[in-house]
Amino acid sequence: MKTTIAVILLFILTISINSQSSYTNIQISGTGGPNEPSICINPKNTMQIVAGANTDKVYRSSNGGLNWTASTLTGTYTVWGDPCIITDTLGNFFYFHLVNGASFIDRMGVNKSTNGGATWNAGTYWQFNPPKQQDKEWAITDWTNGPRGNWMYVAWTEFDNYGVSNPLDSSRILFARSTDGGATFTGVKRLSRYGGNCVDEDYTTEGSVPAVGPNGEVYVAWSGPLGINNFKIFFDRSTDGGTTWLENDIVAGTQRGGWDYVVAGIYRSNGLPITLCDNSNSPYRGTIYVNYTDSAGPADHDVMLIKSTDGGNTWSSPIRINDDPAGKEQFFTWMTIDQVTGYLYCIFYDRRNYTNTQTDVYMARSTDGGTTWVNERVSSSPFTPQSNIFFGDYTNISAHNGVVRPIWIRLVSGTLSVWTAIINFPVGVEPVSTEIPSSFALKQNYPNPFNPVTRIDFDVPATGGNDSKDITIKIFDVSGKETAVIVDGKLSPGSYKYEWDASSYPSGVYFYQLSSGSFSVTKKMILTK
C-alpha cells in the first residue's frame, strides 16, 4: 500500500501547467477602422460572445472569444454607431445603435439575433422626434425573477440641435422601456431636471447607463453641469419599471474638471459614468455603483467609484480605482459586475509605466464591494495613439461566472483594431488577505479528517512580477484518478481560500495538488462519513 501511494504521489507531483506572464490577447478585427466597441457574454452559454464597433460592425465567437467571425449589421434602419450589445433572459442578443434616417441621428434602433449573432432581424426603432437628435443610448435587461423580468430599459441623450452653441438649445436625459422582448419601446420619460448645452462637452448632459436592482428597481446616473464650473453626477431611480421617477435628481458626486478633458495623443476623451447594481447573493447585494473618470489636474486623470447602499439616497466618498502614484493618465473606463459572484471588473487605458503617450490597457478587480482593488495589465504590449485618429468614447467589458472579456481599441501599424483578452477566474475561490505572499504555499486543509466540507488555503506570490499566474488545484483519489478541479485559470498574487464540499464523494484518502509552472506541491486529506 505504501508503495502504491508513493507511486501515485510521484505521478501527481509531475503534473504541471505552462505559465504565462500576461493574459492571452486576441485580435478580433483589424479592418474597417473600428472604435467604440461593445461586448456581451451570453449568460446562458459563456462560450457564445457577441461584440460590435462603430458604425455597423458585428463580431461573434462560439468558443469563448478565441476565434471571431466579422460581419456588417444591416436592417430596415441604418446602423450608425454607439453599439450596445445585451442579452435577454432567453439568451437572445440585441444590438442597440443610432440611426441616420431622414436626418442626422434622428432616432435609435435595435436588431435581434436568436442564434448567437449569426443572423439578425430587420430591426425596429424608437424616439423619432425630428428635428432633435438622439445620442449615446445604452440598454439593460431585467434578469430578476420579479413581475418585470425580461423587460428592457434604455436611456440616452436628446439634443435640440447637436453641436450648436445656442443658449436656446439644450440636452436632456431620456428613458424608455420594452415589455415585449425589444419589439417596441414606449413610455419615454425625461429624467434630468437640469438640462445641458448641445456642444457635446462638459456643459452637456450625457452618459446615462441604466442598471436594475434586486427587486426590479431601475437606476440611472449621468454627468452634467450645475452652475458655472460645477460638474456633478446626477442620479434617478424608479421602483415601478420606469413609470414614475424621483421628483428631484439626487446629486451623487462631483466630477473634478468635468467629464470632457484633454488626454495627450487622444482625439477626444470623456469620463462619463457607468451605473451598476449587485443582484448576486454576495454580501454586497443591492449596492449601487457608479464608475467614472475625472481630473485631479493636467495629465492626472483617475478612474473613480462611488457607491450607495440605500437605494441611491446617500453616496460614499470617491474611491480611486487605479492604484499607481498620482500624476499619470488613466482614461476611457468601463465597469461591469459578475452577477454570480458580485465581483467588480473595471477596464481602462493607463500610462503609469511611461513618460510619453504610450498606452497600456489595465483591468482592476474588486471582491469586496469596491472597497479595495487589484490592478493588472491585460494588454500584451503598449500602443501609441495618434490625435488625428478617433478612438471613440469608450471601452467595454463583460463578465459572468468567472468568465471575463474586456474589449478595447488600439493602433497596429497605424491602423485601428479591436481586441479582447481571455480572462477566466475560478469561482468559489476567495481572497483572505491584502498582504502579498513571498512564495507559493499550499496549507493543510482544515478540518482534517473532515465530513463533508473542508477548507483549503493557498498562497500565490508576486515573484516574477505582479501579473496574474496560471494556477491549478486538483483533487485525486487514492488510485490517482482526478476527482475534482478547484482552480484552473489565472489568479493575482495573494492569499486565498476554497471550501470543498465532498458530499457526493465516498469516504477515503484524497490528495490535493497546487501547480504553477515548475512549482508543484501535494498534500493528503481524509474524508470520513
Task: Tell me the pLDDT tens digit for each residue of 368-396.
Answer: 999 999 999 999 999 999 999 999 999 99
Examine the domain organization and report whether 239 and 364 are in the same domain. Answer: no
Judge whether 64 lies within some domain: no
Enter the pTM of the model: 0.84
Cα angle for residues 141, 122, 117 (degrees, 5° grid): 60
Buried b (16+ CB within 10 A) or exposed e, 79-108: bbbbbbbbbbbeebbbbbbbbebeeebbbb
**What is the share, in percent, of the chain residues with pLDDT greater than 70?**
95
Q: Can you say whether the dihedral through the CA atoms of 358, 337, 407, 99 is positive or negative?
A: negative
Residue 63: how many CB atoms within 10 A of its CB? 10
- Return the closest-CA partner of residue 110 out of 63, 61, 177: 177
According to the model, what pLDDT value does residue 463 have?
76
Judge whether 457 lies within some domain: yes
pLDDT bucket at 18, cuts 50 / 70 / 90: very low
Look at residue 157 and tell me whether its pLDDT is greater than 60. yes
Look at residue 200 and tell me whether its pLDDT is greater than 70. yes
Examine the domain organization and report whether 197 and 237 are in the same domain. Answer: yes
Look at residue 73 and tell me whether its pLDDT is greater than 90. yes
Long-range contacts of 44-51 (CB under 8 A, 24+ apart): 44/87, 44/90, 44/91, 45/91, 45/116, 46/400, 46/401, 46/403, 48/91, 48/116, 48/117, 49/398, 49/405, 50/85, 50/93, 50/95, 50/113, 50/116, 50/117, 51/85, 51/407, 51/418, 51/420
Find out whether 206 and 224 touch, Cβ atoms under 8 Å: yes
Instruction: State pLDDT tens for residues 238-264.
Output: 999 999 999 999 999 999 999 999 999
* 188 vs 176: CA distance, rounded Å: 5
Instruction: State pLDDT tens for residues 467-509.
Output: 678 888 999 999 999 888 888 777 888 899 999 989 889 999 9
Look at residue 22 and tell me whether its pLDDT is greater than 80. no
- Return the closest-CA partner of residue 342 out of 259, 402, 407: 402
Look at residue 452 and tell me whether its pLDDT is greater than 50. yes
Q: In what order do the strands lie in the sheet with 231-238?
A: 206-212, 218-225, 231-238, 250-254
* 37 vs 74: CA distance, rounded Å: 17
Examine the domain organization and report whether 178 and 269 are in the same domain. Answer: no
In order, the DSSP letters of 260-329 are: EE--TT-S-EE---EEEE--SSSTTTT-EEEEEEEEEETTEEEEEEEEESSTTSS-PPPEE---SPSS-B
According to the model, what pLDDT value does residue 197 have?
97
According to the model, what pLDDT value does residue 424 have?
84
Judge whether 28 lies within some domain: no
- Return the closest-CA partner of residue 28 out of 82, 1, 64: 64
Examine the domain organization and report whether 270 and 392 are in the same domain. Answer: yes
Instruction: State pLDDT tens for residues 256-294.
Output: 999 999 999 999 999 999 999 999 999 999 999 999 999
* 201 vs 193: CA distance, rounded Å: 18
Q: What is the mean pLDDT of residues 296-307?
A: 95
Cell readout for 411 is 493602433
Judge whether 85 lies within some domain: no
Instruction: Please give the DSSP secondary-structure letter assigned to residue 11.
Output: H
Judge whether 127 lies within some domain: no
- Return the closest-CA partner of residue 362 out of 408, 400, 413: 408
- Whole-Å CA distances, 409 to 37, 53, 135: 7, 10, 21
- Domain C-terminal end among 403, 421, 442: 403
Beta-carbon contacts of 439 under 8 Å, excluding residues fewer than 6 positions away, are 459, 461, 463
Look at residue 21 and tell me whether its pLDDT is greater than 70. no
* 403 vs 405: CA distance, rounded Å: 7
- Domain C-terminal end among 360, 385, 403: 403
Judge whether 503 lies within some domain: yes
Q: Which is more confident, 402 or 331?
A: 331
pLDDT bucket at 8, cuts 50 / 70 / 90: very low
Judge whether 460 lies within some domain: yes
Q: What is the mean pLDDT of residues 135-154?
A: 97
User: E strand or H helix at 2, and its extent?
Assistant: helix 2-13
* 427 vs 449: CA distance, rounded Å: 25
Judge whether 308 lies within some domain: no
According to the model, what pLDDT value does residue 430 have?
84
* 495 vs 461: CA distance, rounded Å: 8
* 106 vs 294: CA distance, rounded Å: 30
Examine the domain organization and report whether 243 and 285 are in the same domain. Answer: no
Look at residue 5 and tell me whether its pLDDT is greater than 70. no
**Average pLDDT over all residues of the chain:** 92
According to the model, what pLDDT value does residue 3 have?
38
Pairing label, strands 57-61, 45-53 = antiparallel
* 96 vs 98: CA distance, rounded Å: 7
* 495 vs 440: CA distance, rounded Å: 9
- Return the closest-CA partner of residue 452 out of 510, 500, 512, 485: 500
- Domain C-terminal end among 234, 254, 274: 254
Examine the domain organization and report whether 356 and 451 are in the same domain. Answer: no
Instruction: State pLDDT tens for residues 47-69.
Output: 899 999 999 999 999 999 999 99
Beta strands in 413-460 (DSSP E): 415-424, 430-433, 441-442, 453-460
Examine the domain organization and report whether 448 and 396 are in the same domain. Answer: no
Examine the domain organization and report whether 474 and 388 are in the same domain. Answer: no
According to the model, what pLDDT value does residue 37 have?
98
* 237 vs 244: CA distance, rounded Å: 9
Tally of domains in the chain: 3
According to the model, what pLDDT value does residue 427 have?
81
* 52 vs 409: CA distance, rounded Å: 12
Look at residue 444 and tell me whether its pLDDT is greater than 80. yes
* 205 vs 212: CA distance, rounded Å: 22
CATH number at residue 518: 2.60.40.1930
Find out whether 236 and 191 touch, Cβ atoms under 8 Å: yes
Instruction: State pLDDT tens for residues 208-217.
Output: 999 999 999 9
The range of the structural domain enclosing residue 152 comes to 132-254
Examine the domain organization and report whether 362 and 274 are in the same domain. Answer: yes
Examine the domain organization and report whether 260 and 398 are in the same domain. Answer: yes
**Which phi and psi angles does 153 have, rounded to 5°?**
-125, 140
According to the model, what pLDDT value does residue 15 have?
28
Beta-carbon contacts of 143 under 8 Å, excluding residues fewer than 6 positions away, are 43, 89, 149, 150, 212, 279, 339
Look at residue 9 and tell me whether its pLDDT is greater than 90. no
According to the model, what pLDDT value does residue 464 have?
67
Q: What is the mean pLDDT of residues 415-432?
A: 89
3-state DSSP call for residue 40? strand
Examine the domain organization and report whether 391 and 264 are in the same domain. Answer: yes
Find out whether 318 and 295 touch, Cβ atoms under 8 Å: no
Examine the domain organization and report whether 352 and 441 are in the same domain. Answer: no
Q: Which is more confident, 393 or 20?
A: 393
